[in-house]
Chains A and B, each alone.
Chain A
Amino acid sequence: MSAEENCVATICPYCGIGCNLELHLKGDYIYKVTSPFDNPVNHGNLCVKGRFGYDFVYHKHRVTTPLVRRTPQSAGARTQAFDLSEWQPVSWDEALDLVADRLVEIYRRDGPEALAVYVCAKATNEDNYLLQKLYRSLFRTNNVDHCTRLCHAGSVIALQQAIGSSAMSNTAAELIHPDPRRRPDVLIVTGSNTAENHPIIAQMMKAAVEKYAASLIVVDPRRLELVDYAKLWLPLKPGSNVPVFSAIAKVIIEEGLANRAFIEQRTEGFDEFAQSLEKFTPEYVERVSGVKHDLIQQAARLYASAERGAIYWGMGISQLSHGVASALALIHLAFLTGHIGREGTGLNPLRGQNNVQGSSDMGGMPFHYPGYQRVDNPENAARWEQAWHIEAGGLNRQLGLTTTEILSHAHPGGVRALYMMGENPMMSEPNLNLTRQHMQQLEFLVAQDLFINESGAFADVILPAVSFAEKDGTFTNTERRVQRVRQAIVPRGQARPDWQIICDLALRIEARLGRPTSAGWNYAHPSEILAEVARNVPDYAGITYQRIEKLGLQTPVHDSNHPGTPFLFADSFPRGRGKFYPLDFVTAVEQPDYEYPFILTTGRVLEHWHGGSMTRRSQLDNLYPEALLQIHPLDAEMLGIADGAPVCVASRRGEITLRAQITEKSTVGLVFIPFHFAEAAANLITIDALDPQARIPEFKACAVQLCPARDEDLARPDKRLERGRY
């Protein structure tokens, strides 16, 4: 390597696995990404996004100066402006003063409930901690939330209710641990297209099956790639998780396979729960889920008789109007069998974003301070009032609004000002036509982001932030591992690290508000921010930048000598005993009918990320340039749709046109659309039915109709790339 060549170790900005990257630089230019083969997270393996998807950092659409909308926007009449010509470049002082002025003005006029903030599951722990601190300490509001609401909120609420925690209990690398006594022999993977969404973990699952003869049970409506490796596939109808997993629980109990000792010593509420399972008879379950009883039995026996059984799950469990109940149904299985609290077992929700675990740990949610301390608990409030130098009673003790609610409250008398850090509700919220209406109602909107995305296009002010490659900080991966993110290149133009923008803004707001004491915004380096977190969040107490210089540490890290916690709940659960919850069968809100006969489920594909802000501006887009509707051959045949033909997909809420991809990954009656493509946005069609407790939308099931369309109706009719991957 020549003198101007360099190599910086950092963490991938895409998914929650938190792969360790080595960015190879020539001067300012990243030309290659490798990964150390001996790192315990991904063992040198990467997916296409980690390996090749960093180039969005250099895209010409990067916002490099603060921008103010030339045409002033007013509530009720907001429009989107994607083109730079519609924006006035201003200095940082101008921009931040403007933002501080407007926010303080609205705060003074309408009070804390009029303000809301979206923190960012892609930003660092330091960024997120500071932004929620700003809104809580300065604007005294708990309207703090982010896309976790749209992701594992169902799982998190369920875990908190049943266990008292909110994270994956074990470590993914247990899947391939060389010692057979430390790895799972049975896996249940449900509601997760792991091969596309957590590719490195899917790799480990495949290795567990191929090399170590682990038995894999896939419970999913689609014929996913992992089904090829599965001993059992339960192809349940979307929305029927509760009956299926309850039926499995019933078989475990009836056939005497339950771990009585564990139930007696570590759980409560079993009797009532066992009774509630009466209604899940084989006939009933088959009728509502489509899964035959013998598959239920086989799955139950396999999992219950395992030495170590581990459950991995994803959005298919959480993103439902009964997401909490779905996750509880899974948690019950671990309670019944004792497959929790030991290495090689566990309840493992696979967190999506690179730092959603961190942004949640940092209190980026309306019900919790950092460390999952409930905001409506006076002791917690008092503690944070102390930490942030706030007068006693100053912090808001009411639960705040969640993301979808923040938007649905965007009207006079409700939320007037929204601050978005690295979020794109105009692609990721359900029922986008309605979302658009809400966005238009806002009085003041700020976007702190890399690009002008579909939401920032509505904003009044855009503050240019830096990408993962241009700042220091930490991400917490899905296994609770806090890892170091390192700056590799200088910020583009005048873009600044998020945490610096926030501190700068906070000082200006504090000055305007005339607060007697400052909540504390003077940090020389992000390590000092994490030190403040460590002082106040017990799970992070022993984490310093020095300790995670080479390898990350898994929370809880109780003190500076504690080595971190690879797996949780060895002796007890945070709430003491695990709690069983009797469940009713609730299904997806919108069922297929004569007019809308297909079930639409949405999700991701390997090459892209969520709203597409990053990946559509990367060479990744060349590999997967357009939205594709995944439809089963029989359905395509019936409708007269050829592979690659344009199809119009419509629900009661909206419609889009996209090409059909005939594949057996879909099953009969079910179609899939990835939600990355603005020109064929799947969320225009999805339903904003929310889980009553978690408030998570039902992205995984709504009813649609399909009809053939014309090439001219496609946004990019010339874009078709032949791909051979499944």
Chain B
Amino acid sequence: MNDEITLTIDGQAVSVPAGATILQAARSVNIPIPTICFHEATSPLGVCRACVVEVQGWRTLVASCVTPAAAGMVVNTHSERVTRSRRTILEMLASTVDLSEAPEIQLLLQEYAADLQRFPGAERRAIPLLDDNPMYIRDYTRCILCWRCVQVCANDAQYVFALNFSGRGFDTSIATFYDRPMPATTCVFCGQCVGVCPTGALKTKREWLLEKGLLPEEKPAGA
């Protein structure tokens, strides 16, 4: 009989194997906790903080996707602090990034009644679209910096290390070595990054052209 521990989530007793996270525990009994950066194929990093919950006796809220459940823990997944944090995070995201092609986040915006106009005069991510290779485009006006693309390019999947971060803070961006065009990097065009991007910032060129009503053969020469 492997180690099982019991904790309380929203008043409900939940038993999980030792080592499970609070998120896994909640999901095992269908208690919903929203996530944004979390992905089954990447290491959870607790970056978006949408999954924060309140643990009795702990000073700050914790990211449930990376916090191990502990015996006797008392967790509240929808306290006032939690709801405020989630809603504000969503409002801040909406004020920064084009979320029109992020269906899961759209659902959250609705669920938390996020005010999309909350921050007048907010600086938005406004980077020109990068179209530097035959396979996929990078539209970082949609990038929420969820880390997934960098993770799968690194040691969560490909071990290629073509993409990484540039800048810092709000001005962080995803970039290549000295902004080289993609073919001139170690990129092997596996498309893993495209496959995990939640917002359409990374998109296959075909899909992008299709949206414009173009087939690749119709593209202007040299594009």
Contacts and interface: CB of A to CB of B under 8 A. Distances in A.
**A and B, direct touch (CB closer than 8 Å):** yes
A721 B183 contact: yes
Nearest to B192: A45
B134 interface: yes
A32 interface: yes
Contacts of B217: 60
Contacts of B135: 48, 51-52, 619, 623
B133 A31 contact: no
For chain A, the bracket of interface size reads 35 or more
A584 B62 CA distance: 66
Q: Which 8 interchain pairs have the tightest Cβ spacing?
A: A51-B191, A48-B189, A622-B134, A724-B185, A37-B41, A31-B207, A206-B159, A724-B184
A594 interface: no
Contacts of A210: 155, 159
Contacts of B162: 724
B40 A37 contact: yes
Contacts of B15: none
Contact of A34 (B160, B177, B188, B195): B195
A199 B160 CA distance: 11
Interface in B188-223: 188-192, 194-195, 204-207, 210, 215-217
A722 interface: yes
A57 B48 CA distance: 40
Contacts of B133: 623
A523 interface: no
B210 A44 contact: no
Contacts of B40: 37-38
A206 B161 CA distance: 13
Contacts of A725: 160, 185-188
A51 B134 contact: no
A199 B188 contact: yes
Interface in A164-195: none
Given A31-B206, A722-B183, A48 B190 contact: yes
Nearest to B188: A725
B188 A48 contact: yes
B180 interface: yes
B85 interface: no
A721 B180 CA distance: 13
Nearest to A52: B135
Contacts of A726: 186
A51 B152 CA distance: 15
A606 interface: yes
B159 A203 contact: yes
Contacts of B184: 722-724
Nearest to B160: A725
B29 interface: no
Interface of A: 24, 26, 29-35, 37-38, 43-48, 51-52, 55, 60, 199, 203, 206-207, 210-211, 606-607, 619, 622-623, 721-726
A43 B157 CA distance: 10
A724 B162 CA distance: 9
B158 interface: yes
Interface residues of B, number: 33
6 contacts: A32-B194, A46-B195, A51-B190, A55-B216, A622-B134, A724-B162
Given A29-B210, A724-B185, 4 more contacts: A51-B189, A207-B155, A606-B188, A725-B188
B195 A44 contact: yes
Given A26-B210, A723-B183, A203 B191 contact: no
Given A26-B210, A52-B135, A623 B189 contact: yes
A46 B210 contact: no
A80 B23 CA distance: 64
A724 B189 contact: no
The residue among B158, B186, B194, B206 with the most chain A CB atoms within 10 A of its own CB is B206
Contacts of B206: 30-32, 55
The residue among A30, A35, A207, A725 with the most chain B CB atoms within 10 A of its own CB is A725
A145 B158 CA distance: 36
Contacts of A34: 195
Nearest to B39: A37
Nearest to A30: B206
The residue among A32, A37, A48, A199 with the most chain B CB atoms within 10 A of its own CB is A32
Contacts of A43: 41
A33 B18 CA distance: 37
A619 B219 CA distance: 13
A203 B186 CA distance: 15
Contacts of B204: 31-33, 52
A725 B188 CA distance: 7
A28 to B, nearest CB: 11
B210 A33 contact: no
A45 B190 CA distance: 8
Nearest to B217: A60
Contacts of A33: 191, 204
A55 B134 CA distance: 12
Interface in B2-61: 40-41
B157 A203 contact: yes
A24 B41 CA distance: 20
Contacts of A44: 41, 195
Contacts of B187: 724-725
Contacts of A60: 217
Contacts of A211: 155
Nearest to A209: B159
The residue among A44, A207, A721, A726 with the most chain B CB atoms within 10 A of its own CB is A44
A382 B73 CA distance: 71
A639 B216 CA distance: 42
A121 B189 CA distance: 25
Contacts of A607: 189
A672 B200 CA distance: 39
Contacts of A722: 183-184
A5 B110 CA distance: 25
Contacts of B157: 45, 203
Nearest to B210: A31
Contacts of B185: 724-725
A551 to B, nearest CB: 17
Nearest to B177: A724
A207 B155 CA distance: 7
A54 to B, nearest CB: 10
A12 to B, nearest CB: 12
A108 to B, nearest CB: 48
A37 B39 CA distance: 10
A206 B159 CA distance: 7
B119 to A, nearest CB: 32
Contacts of A30: 206
A207 B190 CA distance: 16
Contact of B189 (A37, A45, A52): A52
Nearest to B136: A52
Interface in B46-83: none
A46 B159 CA distance: 13
A47 B216 contact: no
A207 B41 CA distance: 13
Contact of B190 (A26, A29, A46): A46
B207 A32 contact: yes
Contacts of A35: 195
A52 B191 contact: yes
Contact of A48 (B41, B155, B191, B216): B191
A606 B187 CA distance: 12
Contacts of A55: 206, 216
A723 B158 CA distance: 17
A60 B217 CA distance: 10
B192 A724 contact: no
A44 B207 CA distance: 19
Nearest to A622: B134
